[in-house]
Amino acid sequence: MSSDAPSAEPAIETRGLTKRFGHQAAVDHIDLAVPRGAVFGFLGPNGSGKTTTIRVMLGLAAATAGRVQVLGREMPRHLADVLPRVGALVEGPAFYPFLSGAANLHRLDSADRHASSTTRGARVEEALERVGLTHAAGKKVHAYSLGMKQRLGIANALLSPRELLVLDEPTNGLDPQGTREVRNLVRSLAAGGTTVFVSSHLLAEVEQMCTHAAVMSAGRLVAQGTLDELRQVGLAHVRVRTPDVAVARRVLVRMGLEPDEPVRDERAADEQAPDERPAADQRDVLVSAPMPDGAPEPEAIVEALVAGGVRVRGFGVEHPSLEERFVALTGEGFDVAR
């Protein structure tokens, strides 16, 4: 990394970052690279180490091993230089319940030695307006709803102009409208040149607002890149719907493909009353096979299938959705990691 081109440095870079609690590695050798100006989605199921990574990144907790650079400076050694340029919402908002929303922001802002006290009032007002809390500014926080606290937490991150925003689960507890507002806010901040690092377990959220993403699973980083890159990591599949399973598989193998285990197309079968169902050898089955680089063109496959006497009733080439990738990377089901 050349020091004369600081803007080319990643906003966040970790190398072999590890954090152990006792014997358990909550974060295990992760190498993150968040480019400047990106809206970076940090995905992973609950308990996969996202928040711990953020804590270590921001100097709240010490790494067991590995290095972290934020905005080109080593953390936590240059914490005092870096953190004033970072706005953060970490593991939910937290405020003094006995103070009003505005008083809370005043209090947190005055903890920053570099924040100017002359502009504080104006900055608090602006931040509250940005998240739509102006009308509730004077209300004590214990009377706030979860969504209002979340908005106040985001306002807190926006009190000063920031180069990097770290938002941990920013849409938690927000209604659909609030979620939309957060998305728009993130987009407008990114358009202004701010790098935004958003952690989330909601795939749709990441898919809608991010340019890049990384996926965590059980403390390990299992994928990262632009959204398109992530989608394409999984191989496209050719899918053939036909009753002639054995023949179709033979044809595919002859063409150098490796068909997956066949899946009966239950949907088609269920639509028909039991006594009208076709005999077993007449039922449609989905035969699919991954399409590696150098695989024959789809039209050539269809041609070969038809020529081989396969009754092709459906054919398609499908890229895996981000959701399929996510599930493939992190495992299925409700089990929290470990």
Partner 1 sequence: MSSELSVLFRRRRTWALLLALAAIPILVAVAVRLSSSRSAPGEGPSFLDRITQNGLFVGIAALVVSVPLFLPMTVGVVAGDTIAGEASLGTLRYLLLRPAGRVRLLVVKYLAAGAFCLAAALTVVLAGAIVGASLFPVGPVTLLSGDTISVGESVLRSLLVAGYAGISLLGLSAIGLFISTLTEVPVGAMAATIVLSVVSQILDSLTQLGWLHPWLFSHYWLGFADLLRQPIAWGPFVSNMLLQAGYIAVFGALAYARFVTKDVLS
Give residues in contact with partner 1 (CB under 8 A): 55, 58-62, 79-80, 83-84, 86, 88, 90-99, 103, 106-113, 115, 156
Least distance to partner 1 from the beta carbon of 254, Å? 58
Of 244, 248, 252, the C-alpha closest to 281 is: 244
**Residue 144 Cβ vs partner 1, minimum distance, rounded to whole Å:** 14
Region class of 11: left (phi > 0), else alpha (psi between -120 and 50), else beta: alpha
Minimum distance from residue 7 beta carbon to partner 1 (Å) = 24
Q: Smallest gap, in angstroms, from Cβ of residue 125 to partner 1?
A: 18
Looking at the Cβ atoms of 95 and 197, the one nearer to partner 1 is 95
Report the residue number, 168 or 284, with the smaller CB distance to partner 1: 168
The sign one gets for the Cα dihedral 192, 193, 195, 199 is positive
- For partner 1, give the closer residue by CB, 102 or 206: 102
Contact yes or no for 210/43 (Cβ under 8 A):
no
| 285, 255 Cβ separation under 8 angstroms | no
What string of DSSP letters covers 197-215? Answer: EEEES-HHHHHHH-SEEEE
In angstroms, the Cα distances linking 148 to 104, 129, 174 are 13, 13, 8
> What are the backbone dihedrals phi and psi of residue 40, each rounded to the nearest 5 degrees, phi first?
-105, 115
In the complex, least distance from residue 31 CB atom to partner 1, rounded to whole angstroms: 22
Closest CB to partner 1 among residues 116, 321: 116
**What is the nearest approach in angstroms of partner 1 to the Cβ of residue 80?**
6
CA distance 251 to 196: 49
Smaller CB separation from partner 1, 98 or 191? 98
Q: Which is nearer to partner 1, 97 or 331 (CB)?
A: 97
- 147 Cα distance to chain centroid: 21
